[in-house]
Structure 1
């Protein structure tokens, strides 16, 4: 149910729509309603009239996913932002929080305790994650590393590009079914749609000066805009067969 709500904007759906979506994946109405009740108890969703909407960390995740659909960067002046952990032992929970926050800020760990990225993103992004990083690290801006190629390698751009090309192929195979509004393709294409969103969130958002040749980020976003539009149109057409709820 979380994935279904994460895929719509705003992240709210009628209960009947969530129940019918569950049926696509073999979930009974009772199982779906139980899952929604548990999510509400955990603070992941809240009841909203005749439906549910995301709340808490899942709402933050939805915002990150929506932002990742667009490549919002600013011109790069060649400098890097760094977050350096001072010497000293830290509890494992703190280290885990730092790692998660740094990745959401699209920082890469270039060496143990040193996180970095090209300074081409809005410094005000993800304030909650920024607060976690600032609490545990010394923040530096304007850095010019002696070996920027080693810093870029920490983002594994080749790995990201390889996965992106596989996803482009997956979307190309399924696009004709969505263009035909084939409801039988919804379950399979749902997984592809979600996989592309996750991959866009992981986009290192490198400046053009540091992108490898044939960088597929723009192509992935363009193909996804069509794919996601087709998926949503097919889903709406399928859902209308049940009436409104």
Structure 2
């Protein structure tokens, strides 16, 4: 079983602070449970395993059972006999998290993905939802309605986007690296990543480390995953992923009965 950490979602509590915080708050019982299930493939765990796994994070048996009941009632989890699994909504979130930690890339030959939003008459909520979707696809807005990114991701765009955007590949004018710096706050992202790396190194209690790596995952989700030629020197993205992978391996050992 792979064990992962929860990342915040729209309309849901975010117990660890924002991605830019290097000293996130401890996670709640709910977040500890979701962190474990989001990393499980398939995303399900028996109660007896959850009781053992959450104990190092300061979550007792009665607190766990109360949290599980609330999560089932809220639609976060499903229960089958003594086994809990993620709901469909949170399984989609697991896919986003997996992609953040292990994004698929391909060789970049200089082309950029470009999207032009063509739908009109849409309300503020619909526009905000579309912006969130395009941002999650690691696109950035050059100007209103025009989104782009280097064509180095090994992924297809969702079919339903064809109803509201035009898509093509091109090579924008100007220096690609200058364009990347205009589209993404790369220096700020790198500074936060280095702060998170320092924080996870200094965190020793299991609960503190889980909270710290929850912030790591949220920050990795915002990584634009640019080609190396467009990144600043000493980009810490891979170091952050390697730190998380090492933590996950240790937690996997704990899930098998070892120490976290």
Shorter-normalised TM range: 0.7 to 0.9
1:78 to 2:106 alignment: no
Distance in 2 (alpha carbons) for counterparts of 1:212 and 1:167: 18
Find the residue that maps to 2:258 and give its secondary structure.
Answer: helix
Distance in 2 (alpha carbons) for counterparts of 1:123 and 1:232: 28
1:133 to 2:148 alignment: no
User: How far off its partner does 1:69 sit?
Assistant: 2.2
1:104-143 counterparts in 2 under 5 A? 104-124=136-156, 130-131=158-159, 133-143=161-171
TM-score normalized with structure 1 length: 0.79
Find the residue that maps to 2:122 and give its secondary structure.
Answer: coil
User: How far off its partner does 1:27 sit?
Assistant: 5.4
Find the residue that maps to 1:237 and give its secondary structure.
Answer: coil
Residue 184 of structure 2 is matched in structure 1 by: 155
Cα RMSD after superposing both structures: 2.6
1:172 to 2:201 alignment: yes
Find the residue that maps to 1:37 and give its secondary structure.
Answer: helix
Find the residue that maps to 1:8 and give its secondary structure.
Answer: coil
User: How far off its partner does 1:217 sit?
Assistant: 1.3
Which of the pair is proportionally richer in helix? 1
Deviations 1:179-220 (A, max 9, x none): xxxxxx111111012111222222111001101111111222
What stretches of structure 1 of length at least 5 have no aligned partner?
Answer: 178-184, 240-245
1:237 to 2:258 alignment: yes
Find the residue that maps to 1:166 and give its secondary structure.
Answer: helix
User: How far off its partner does 1:139 sit?
Assistant: 1.4
Residue 55 of structure 1 is matched in structure 2 by: 87
Are 2:104 and 2:155, in contact at CA under 8 Å, matched by a contact in 1?
no
TM-score normalized with structure 2 length: 0.75
Distance in 2 (alpha carbons) for counterparts of 1:168 and 1:20: 28
1:190 to 2:215 alignment: no
Greater CA drift, 25-34 or 44-53:
25-34
Higher relative contact order (CA 8 A, sep 6+): 2
What stretches of structure 2 of length at least 5 have no aligned partner?
Answer: 1-32
Aligned residues, how many? 226
